[in-house]
Structure 1
Amino acid sequence: MYHAVAREAHDPNQLCVSPERFAAQMTWLARRGLRGVSVVSLLRAVQRGDAGGLVGITFDDGYRSVLHAALPVLRRHGFGATAFVLSDPPAPENTWDEGTAWPLLAADEIRELAAEGVEIGSHGATHTRLTGLPHRRLAAEVADSRAALGEVAGGEVQGFAYPWGAMDAAARAAVAAAGYTYACAVSTPYRGLSTLALPRAYVGDRDGGFELALKRRLHKVNSIWKGRFA
């Protein structure tokens, strides 16, 4: 789980990975015979039983740096990825994290990412926390966002990522009702583990090879353990 790929002097939430670090992390995967793919590609491979060596790569929020800094690295390795973007952001930049006004992808840039083979998923309409929302607002954030992004990207939007990683039963039901194939969370309680609440491993700028190996192992073990009780 990535967010921005950029050098930012002020990053209190540690959401940025520098272009150099991101390139090193992708090289680390490639040298171990691992291949980055979109989440929808990963799930299809799991269903076929041939997901060995595949790693789902995701970017939340829809920062412009994904197009300009991350995409060239992904291309170089022949990797895929999923970008979860907003359909109706409140401003052209990030306004939900104080002091981090980073530019977001415009509609034509989202289309460019899609044309390059990056899966476009929804991160809601406005990056609003979904837990506790009234039904009509929840539908607008989830279902209306899917329809709008489908028109922008030129294809059916299959994936959703919960803003702030916050979800409850009503949010998962709204995602299912909207027709999404899957949804990504951050951490998922074992009773909620499903294709509508996929856990992910955060990757930051401090993560080198040792940290990536540890996170990958812990994520795999944790998912298997939860899956036994889901």
Structure 2
Amino acid sequence: MTLDYFSAFLIGILGAGHCIGMCGGISSMLTAAVKQHSRKSFYFVAAYNIGRIFTYSFLGLIAGFTGSLGIKALGLPVISLKFIAGFFLILLGLYIGQWLFWLNRVEKLGRTLWQKLQPISKHLLPIDSTPKALGLGMLWGWLPCGLIYSTLTWSIAAGNAIDGMAIMFFFGVGTLPALLTVSLGFQTITVLFKKLWVRRLIALGLICYGVFTLNVAYQLLF
């Protein structure tokens, strides 16, 4: 499972530009809060990201448990789930590179739930306390996102709840560098991640890793 943890961490790192695009709004609000409450800036940023990673880990727990049910009750082979994970990783690369937008359809599946959760954020704004930052992070972890959904397929393929949770935890840790740069106001790095050529370079990395994953799953079959 160590390779799966590293893979999830790598997906989080490579998806940096997408993270900034999806969470740019909340990161801007967090930046404003940091500037207004400079003494508490570290606590706000830390609490938000702890909340976000907690939700990712919880989703991974559910996904891993679901995968275990599929393996035990339906007799789904673990290798088939690995193939699905690799396939979704390739779709993610095509999506981030703006070559193919099939993951938009997957994101739409989560929008119904998000529409019910999003109004809760009104009670957490403005961000003027650590508990509010924590709550907003936990809420934002439910944001419909192709990057999250693609990584969740790795949690499903893990075949058990604990490994599924750990995979999403390491994914969340991988997203930290990108979102910390935005939250703390490092605009140069933020602008760089938003450039199309950078996004496409990252996308190619994800696609290559997806192909590698498919090859590993294929080798395990024979």
Q: Is TM-score (shorter-chain normalized) higher than 0.5?
A: no
Higher relative contact order (CA 8 A, sep 6+): 2
Normalized per residue, the structure richer in helix is: 2
Larger Rg: 2
Normalized per residue, the structure richer in strand is: 1
